[in-house]
Structure 1
Amino acid sequence: MGIFKLFGKKPGREEPTSSDKPASKKTRVKGQNTVIGQVQDDEALTHALTEKKHIARATERKIDAIEFEMSRDMGRPKSVASKTANDGPLTRTAPNQFHTDFVATDFQSTVALSMQTTELILGQTDLQAAPMAQIESVPLLEEAAILFATGQTKVAEHMLRSAIDLDNLGTATSLAWFMLFDLYQIEQNQYAFESLSLDYAGKYETSPPIWRNSDANKDAPASKDESAVPSLTFPSKLDGEIIKLLQKLNGFSENSKVLKLDFGRVKTVDPVGCGLLLRAIRNLQKTKHDLVLVAAQNLTEQIRSILEVGRRDETEAPWLLLLEILQLLQLKEVFEEASIDYCVTFEVSPPAYEAPTNKVTTAVPEPVSEEDNSDRFLMPKSIEGSTDALVKQIAAFAKDHQLIILDCSQLERVEFGASAQLLNGLVPISSSKDKSIQFHEVNYLVMHLFNAMGLKNVAAIFPRKQS
């Protein structure tokens, strides 16, 4: 017994119970599972990032491949093609020529290493007045329209300017802007018009109305330089197929210092088309070509429609094209707003505004007037004094038409007294059975005058589009 007691276990020290061991083992297993889960999540995130990078690079390679095919089809310039292998290094062509040596780094992949998203909404205020048969009566605006109709242009301008500054007309404030735009257009005050455009773009974050050239310039014979300007009209879909147009653009640029780009028909855009157009425009700027942009604001709206702040697509080309066009239009405040959205989306420093060094002018699409004379009556530029002759012409036109469309695209001003005569002359026509009268393309000054005089009770009034 002594020996067993000597080598036996000391009292007071107990072995851990069987229930203690599994507890520590469970803790280790749980920790291992957490680490494994984290590793799996990291692998999944890395895989997603890699996949997006591949998509972005594939889009850029597609743009590069399209441009390469274009440059190969066009062949080498004469200065290059005349060289043989023994002639030594090839010489570069003149810097004032436009070529397709595009650089693939003009824009980058939009997939960053971090995938943080920002929940912001690209807010756009659509203040374009839609055509309407009955226009809301706004006494202040109607008073300004009457002042303009009675020849008190400066008073009307001051009233509209005050309404814009006070901004107390609610949704009708936008109508005051449009009325003032029309006033400056009619008075041929382009400086005031452009200054108002900057304020409008900054407030509503959308493109302002476009300055239209005077009729005097349209009637004057075109000079050789103006008539010889090559024009390129882009299709309804701006995608990879525009490479065929860019081939023509390349040929035009070698023979003309001024180029006209028409975006009036563009309805949709995609990243590939935006990338191709972006590189072409940048090359035209490098070669110091002067540009005439037609309906450029339409292009910016189509680009905005596919963008979303905080969302990174396969390429940032649409964003960069939007910023490029805004710079060409010299819309600095709108550019800065868009650059901030671009900065938030891609987590980079916002690009700085750079005014174009080449000459850039804007123009509106030329109206298609094939059968306009047959289905509508063209109103004169100004209506003053007696309207008897005008009413007789409208009545003669109404004999052959159930729908009498009065085209006011050229109408600038209606004298106050003449508007009352016009109303009295149109009442018998509108009261005839199966006859209806519509005023189309009415400027906002005349529209509110008609509204105040009660013409909206005898005819539908459709205001002029400001885009």
Structure 2
Amino acid sequence: MLADAAAPARCSRTRMPFSFFGKKPGAPRPAPAAKRQRPAQPGPARAKTPAPRIPEPPRPKEEPLPNLDFAPAVEGEPGASAPGPAAREDPNQVHSVVEEVAILYANGEDTHAAEILEHAVQGEDAAAATEEVWFLLFDLYHVAGKREAFETRAVEYAVRFGRSPPAWSGAERSSARGTGGATPIVVLGPGFDGPGARQLDILERMASKHERVRADLGKLRSAGEPGCARLIEVLHAAKKRGCEVVLQNAANLSGILERSIEAGKRENPASWLLLLELYQRQGMQEKFEECAVNYAVTFEVSPPSWEMPRKQPPRSQPKTPPVPATPGAYVMSGEISGASPAVLRDLSVWAAAHDPVVIDCSALRRMDFVCAGTLLNTLAELKAAGRPARIRGANHLVGALLRVLGVAQFAQLDRRKS
């Protein structure tokens, strides 16, 4: 009965689709009997043949990763590490006081450098003074032969840092004139306002203490009217004192001034006068005469007159310090200035025949800014050739100057511990 009851239901389902094709419903056909499938007879279990196993290639032995946490392990927990140390300062980063003092010392401004350091270790910000600031001051006392001041500061250093201060080494006192023939240099720029105004003050102070000073104008990007008037004042005052101010890269400033003036416009008179001064110092008489006429027409005043350049008497060249024959190292000693480039030329020759290149500066008291720049170029060439040099034994004053110039990018700079 169950089969008979289910048959009409199945027929009704099968008639539905045919109505879409226009066929008339007819007598229901008996549904074909469904074939019964015999249940599978359980037979004897067959043993499955295992698939052949392909041996895996041996894995490389994993090396443990290096532990980059240098903090000591926590007591009682083997292998555990304490939280990592705070980020350390870049050893080649230069403190602002250190940078200023290094440049002053290279230019022979020992007294001014000492004043800055003494203020740093005993002023309001004394607690922030690093050990290097103290070491620079100790080196300056050595250079000046101020043993009493050295001993006083040594006691203060011991109290401040809780360790023994450097010992007095009896260094020879250098000449009060500074670098023994070295010509100090002041780099002006990028303008005459802000920090540039302070550089003009430094140039004036150096011109009052030296017979010859260099001013590099290559980094100037602008020249305001007050700054032009100030530079003219400094140049004229140096001339009255008998100091020769050598202007390097004067063409850069000349171009800036030429673009800031226009004949017929009564503007920027100091720029006109400074441009005439630059033409005079560069020996450009034709441009001087043309500019002088335009200045006279524009401002209706008499222009400066052309002065024939005076022949400078030949300057005595200081003897190059002898380089001792020290096995395995090139020795620099004494005070090296722009007047003694042979020392640096000899370094290139020496480096070509020695590997590794080691430069011993233990006996070097001072190096001026120009020579330090020449040394930087030599070290850069050596590194480019795959032979980086190593500098050892430099005092804190020389070492600070080298770091200011970026020598550490091209050579290993071993710093003194005290």
Question: Shared fold (TM-score greater than 0.5)?
Answer: no
What TM-score, normalized by structure 1, do the two folds share? 0.36
Which has the bigger relative contact order, CA under 8 A and spacing at least 6?
A: 1
